[in-house]
């Protein structure tokens, strides 16, 4: 599995926009697990590790209320995602993930890892929003317990969840 990410822009709802990926190296990030994360030609690349086990890349800082915009290139049939307000112990990550996957596999939906499972999936009418082998734009807005996602400008979901509003983490 190879998924490429580019151009992470995080807007803290208390501060000015900041880029959380410098396009050069993984400064400000921590790798968990055996998946291979590296920077090539300004892009952040993730490849499955030798043991095909889970792996994560987490910011060293925690963000509570934010808007995150990033571009991703879905090149294979594997899934990925963006975790937020999550806790990581080794390769066990507990918290919420915005799904990033091939068309028809719930991209933009919210999954609670080691918790309640799928909290919300986008409707079937949005199955074709992710375009394989092309750059796609994911936008995630988290304010207290309200989460909204967009892919390529299409609103995928809106979720209000009290458990999210009380959580902390990367």
For 27-76, what is each residue's pLDDT tens digit? 999 988 888 888 998 888 888 767 767 778 888 888 888 899 999 888 87
Q: Find the domain containing 17 and state its range.
A: 2-165
Q: Write out the H or E segment, with its range, that includes residue 162.
A: helix 162-165
pTM above the 0.85 mark? yes
Total domains in the chain come to: 1
Within a domain: residue 170?
no
Burial class (CB in 10 A: 0-12, 13-18, 19+), 144: middle
Burial class (CB in 10 A: 0-12, 13-18, 19+), 157: buried
End-to-end CA distance of the chain, in Å? 24
Q: Using alpha carbons only, how large is the chain's radius of gyration in Å?
A: 15
Pairing of strands 55-59, 92-100: unpaired
Residue % of the chain over a pLDDT of 90: 50
The CATH number assigned to the domain holding 24 equals 2.60.120.560
Within a domain: residue 103?
yes
Within a domain: residue 47?
yes
Percent of residues in the chain assigned helix, strand, coil, to nearest 5: 5, 55, 40
């Amino acid at each position: 599995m190879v998924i490429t990410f580019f151009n992470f822009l995080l807007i803290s709802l208390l501060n000015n926009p900041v880029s959380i990926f410098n396009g050069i190296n993984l400064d400000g990030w921590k790798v968990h697990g055996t998946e291979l994360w590296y920077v090539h030609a300004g892009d952040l690349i993730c490849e499955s590790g030798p043991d095909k086990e889970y792996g994560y890349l987490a910011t060293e800082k925690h963000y509570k209320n934010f808007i995150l915009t990033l571009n991703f290139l879905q090149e294979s049939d594997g899934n990925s995602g963006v975790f937020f307000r999550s806790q990581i112990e080794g390769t066990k990550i507990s918290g919420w993930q915005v799904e990033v996957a091939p068309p028809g596999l719930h991209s933009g939906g919210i999954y609670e890892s080691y918790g309640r499972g799928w909290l919300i999936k986008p409707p079937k009418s949005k199955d074709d929003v992710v375009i394989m082998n092309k750059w796609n734009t994911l936008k995630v807005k988290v304010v207290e317990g309200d989460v909204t996602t967009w892919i390529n400008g299409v609103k995928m979901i809106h979720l209000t969840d009290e458990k999210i509003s009380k959580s902390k983490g990367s």
